[in-house]
A and B are shown apart, each in its own frame.
Chain A
Amino acid sequence: EIVLTQSPATLSLSPGERATLSCRASQSVSSYLAWYQQKPGQAPRLLIYETSNRATGIPARFSGSGSGTDFTLTISSLEPEDFAVYYCQQRSNWPLTFGQGTRLEIQ
């Protein structure tokens, strides 16, 4: 099983700041890494797939990068609606796995 480790567990920032979230895989997942956003009481929403492709309707301030075992989700300038929990997910191998999540909170 591929284990995804996200860091930090919690990130405290202010609107307008840049957010950098990390996801590290226990073995290579090639480029088969996605990012999701989840707000309280809501279902997750796909942000980024295949490392760097923005999903439909996702603003350009969200970007993804990386390859192999190290991946990054960057939010260039935080908007109030961006404060949420973020998960990475790999589809390289069965079982599909998620990271434990990074909570992005308002400082």
Chain B
Amino acid sequence: EVQLVESGGGLVQPGGSLRLSCAASGFTFSSYWISWVRQAPGKGLEWVASIKPDGSGKYYVDSVKGRFTISRDNAENSLFLQMNSLRAEDTAIYYCARGGTATTIFHYWGQGTLVTVSS
């Protein structure tokens, strides 16, 4: 059974940093695209970042470029999102979502972790 479990969310002040993690199990982690998708309170879904299976390619939405870094550890079956210079508008539930071996269709989702940016 595919499982994705996010952690690392919490309350942080504007300008602060946070590192999210996603622990994966039930599939060969190193073979799949994996992404972060967020959802602000009461709002729709927004794609944040994606990373290729071998980590060689990383893609970001413009609003987080230069502030967020996606990475993965295939030996530990883990995905990360380093978030710096956080803003109020980054407040959201952050979901880890698994794609395909060659696609960014979000086949599986974690339950999400809440990030709140507020003073």
Q: Mark B89-117, 1 if CB is under 8 A from A, else 0.
A: 00000010000000111111111100000
Q: Are A96 and B47 neighbours in the complex by a CB distance under 8 Å?
A: yes
List the A side residues contacting B47 at CB < 8 Å: 89, 95-98
A 21-44 contacts with B by CB, 8 A: 34, 36, 38, 43-44
Q: Please give the distance in Å from B84's CB to the nearest CB on chain A.
A: 20
Q: A46–B45 Cα gap in the complex (Å)?
A: 13
A44 to B103, CA, bound (A): 18
How distant is the Cα of A98 from the Cα of B106 in the complex, in angstroms?
12
In Å, the complex CA distance between A59 and B92 comes to 31
Shortest CB-to-CB span from A6 to chain B, Å, is 9
Number of chain A residues close to chain B: CB under 8 A: 21
* B contact residues, total (Cβ < 8 Å): 22
- Contact: B105 with A87, CB < 8 Å? no
* Residues of A with C-beta under 8 A to B95: 43-44
Partner of B106, one of A46, A50, A94, A101: A46
Pair A98/B59 contact, Cβ less than 8 Å: no
User: Within 8 Å CB of A43, what residues of B?
Assistant: 95, 109-112
Q: Are the CB atoms of A94 and B59 closer together than 8 Å?
A: yes
Residue contact A45 to B109, C-beta cutoff 8 Å: yes
Nearest CB of chain B from residue A69's CB, rounded to whole Å: 19
Q: How far is the CA of A91 from the CA of B111 in the complex (A)?
A: 22
Alpha-carbon distance between A45 and B59 when the two chains are bound, in angstroms: 22
Instruction: Determine whether the beta carbon of A101 is less than 8 Å from that of B44.
Output: yes
Docked CA distance A33–B59 (Å): 19
20 contacts between A and B (CB under 8 A): A34-B106, A36-B45, A38-B45, A43-B95, A43-B109, A43-B111, A44-B37, A46-B106, A46-B107, A55-B107, A87-B45, A91-B103, A91-B105, A95-B47, A96-B59, A96-B104, A97-B47, A98-B44, A98-B45, A101-B45
Question: Which residues of A line the B interface, CB within 8 A?
Answer: 34, 36, 38, 43-46, 49-50, 55, 87, 89, 91, 94-101
Chain B interface (Cβ < 8 Å from any Cβ of A): 35, 37, 44-47, 50, 59-62, 95, 103-112
